[in-house]
Amino acid sequence: MPESEVKPQVELKYAELKPFPDWCKIFGKTCELFLEIGIGNGEFVEWLGKNHPEKCFLGVEVNRLYFKKAVNRIKKADLNNVKLLHAEGSKVLCKLFAPSTLSGLYLNFPDPWVKKKQKKRRLVNEFFPWLLQSRLKVGGFFLMVTDYQPYAEEVIEFFSKCKAFVPLWDSRPIKNEFPNYYHTKYARKWLSQGLPLFYVGFKKVKHLEIPEEVLNYYPILRLEGDEALPAVVIKVPQKVSLSEITFPEGVVWRDKNLVVKILEVFKGKNSILLDILVSEGSLLQRFFVVIATHPDGLIVKVHDSELPDPTKGVHTAISILAAEVLKSFPQAKVVQNQCKSSVFNNVLKSFQIQPELRKAP
């Protein structure tokens, strides 16, 4: 196929994107950048791309089936200013957009999770406006449309408490008609029944520091650039068996904002594989950790099959497993440590292990 006929790459991979990527390079041009979270089958983001060729749009969808439909739709439309990503919206905002770089966010019919026990799953909560204001440019907007009035009213309450925002329309943050707004198939069906829609809009007018409780809720915000995943190399006595190391399944660490759980342990001749779940604020990460032989002894590291974001919780998980190894072999020493020192030392002390006595000379 001639170079001029090469189709633009539509689908991006979250795991392959470094923090704060160069979006101009990804899109192949300099332009304003907009985000739609929850693109469904891609109808709305396709309309945006076709009607605003001078702008760039990233569409995010967590449902894999809908995401595939959206990818096929954008490929068929042959749009070079639309990219799609299979990921959770708040993770994308935290990791992939540097402060004050986003021009606008569209949110079409987010799941309202109407049951009381489900409300915590809502994307927009009391913390979300603080996250969004950190990523939007001054003058950038938030625009949501929903058919569920209680959710619209709650979103207005949350944004009104964050003084980085003001209402988008003449001191009013909500309206029932928006003539120039594209109606998706879902919206058209709803309106055809004579039922109302609720448009909620806010504009960023100033930048505010992110409160500590928001950083705790979105732990990826604490990452500083392209951080390496934690790993620990431990020098052990020459004749050791991995079968001597035991790992308790279940919750192995719990504090105010963090839970680490070992779901299952798989033992092999030369390695141990552990299925790990880390719950940290709003972030849930599941990944495998491998403990395997190493030229210097044993290594404890994240398995390559699934690479989590290297948050404090992931550092804690690796530190806990390293501590179990050290506990099993009293003469063992730490040769290399890529865990955060404060996290590693705190975990070792909880195991009643003195960090300074377990370092190799």
DSSP H or E stretch at residue 60: strand 56-61
- CB neighbours of residue 84 within 10 Å: 25
CA 68 to chain centre: 20
Q: For residue 281, what are its two tokens?
A: 């604020």
List beta partners, residue 82.
Answer: 57
Q: Which DSSP letter does residue 125 get?
A: S
Q: Among all chains, which residue has been given the structure tokens 């030369």?
A: 270
- 304 in catalytic set: no
* Half-sphere CA count of 127, side-chain side, radius 13 A: 19
Active-site residue among 111, 147, 275, 296?
A: 111
Q: Which residues contact 240 (CB under 8 A, 6 or more apart)?
A: 329
Q: What tokens were used for 336?
A: 């290399």
Q: Which has the closest alpha carbon to 297: 265, 262, 329?
A: 329
**Separation between Cα atoms, residue 19 and residue 173, nearest integer Å:** 32
Query: C-alpha angle with apex 199: 198 to 201, nearest 5 degrees?
Result: 145
Q: Token match 């009213």: residue? A: 153
Query: Measuring CA to CA, which residue among 299, 357, 350, 303 is closest to residue 331?
Result: 357
Residues 6+ apart with CB under 8 A from 67: 39, 61, 84, 86
Side-chain half-sphere CA neighbours of 232 within 13 A: 32
Q: What is d(CA 92, CA 302) in angstroms, rounded to the nearest whole number?
A: 22
Contact in structure between 252 and 262 (CB atoms under 8 Å): yes
Nearest-angstrom CA–CA distance, 234 and 231: 10
Active site residues: 111
